[in-house]
Amino acid sequence: MPGKMSPSDFARASFRPERPVSFCPTSDTGWVSDCSKDVSIHDDPTFSETKAAIENMFAHKRDQFDSFKTVLGAETALVKKSFIITAVGLAGVFILACFCWLIVGAAIGIGLDRAGTPLWGTTLILLAINGVGIAVCTKAVKESYRHVSFMPILQALTGHAGKSQKE
């Protein structure tokens, strides 16, 4: 069988003195020196190759660290801007809502007074309307709180920024 070699092939092997002696199975020619040798690039590396590989590894690690630092800086800047925009937006909305709600509340109160509702009735109706408004706003805040997350910061710190949870 030309594809398979058995240990008995070593008994039939011969060698040429002018070439290095090899103890591999004989080739089709019958000469040991004609056998093919599987050589890998990882066999017997020189010192300069090893040094170049180590320098290359450190260069890649330095590039990886620089990339990580850039991503972390970008994520941090994004979070800062997000906090500032959110704070300014919330303050503006709060002020606008307070003034609008004061105007709406005053209009409802004046309308109830002109309709002949007693003062205690107007007060109770306005308290009920405000209570429902507070309940609706509280529910909205609790519902939106689920979507607030510090995961982008944690992902940037662990080196997984930009990756979805499913990956």
| Crossing angle between the packed helical segments 119-145 and 47-114, to the nearest 10 degrees | 170
Residues 106 and 138: their CA atoms lie apart, in Å, by 23
Q: What pLDDT, on a 0 to 100 scale, did the predictor assign at position 55? A: 93
User: Could you give phi then psi for residue 46, rounded to 5 degrees?
Assistant: -80, 170
Question: pLDDT tens digits, residue range 26-53?
Answer: 555 555 555 555 555 556 677 888 889 8
Instruction: Note the pTM of the prediction, 2 decimals.
Output: 0.39
Question: pLDDT tens digits, residue range 72-106?
Answer: 888 888 888 888 998 898 899 889 888 988 899 89
All residues at 6 or more sequence positions from 79 whose CB lies less than 8 Å from its CB, including other chains: 152, 153
DSSP β-bridge partners for residue 14:
31
